[in-house]
Amino acid sequence: MPQLRWRCLGGILNSSKTMELTERISTECKRIGLLWDGNPPALIAPDVYIIKAVPLTEECHSKGQCKVETYTVLIGKDIKVMK
């Protein structure tokens, strides 16, 4: 079976690196209270990605008024997700 690949601004991420990245982003989103659907992040610069996620606020839980927002993800030794 051929290895899956995604093109990101001229670069290529193989599926194992994408899975590792997805797991790291998912873990950090859960830690800071964001619901991310796991769609592949968009590479905008080296080690900088954009994702769409929903902040799990009380209003979202109680009233169902959840808003999808854009977040920047910085990848390095540690991972940082910020608005």
Closest CA to 13 of 75, 63, 62: 75
Structural tokens at position 30: 């859960």
Helices (H), the chain: 15-32, 58-63
The amino acid occupying position 21 is L
pTM for this structure?
A: 0.77
Number of domains into which the chain is organized: 1
* Range of the structural domain that residue 13 is part of: 5-82
* Digit-coded pLDDT (tens) for 17-62: 888 899 999 999 999 999 999 998 999 999 999 999 999 999 998 9
Read off the tokens for 35: 């619901």
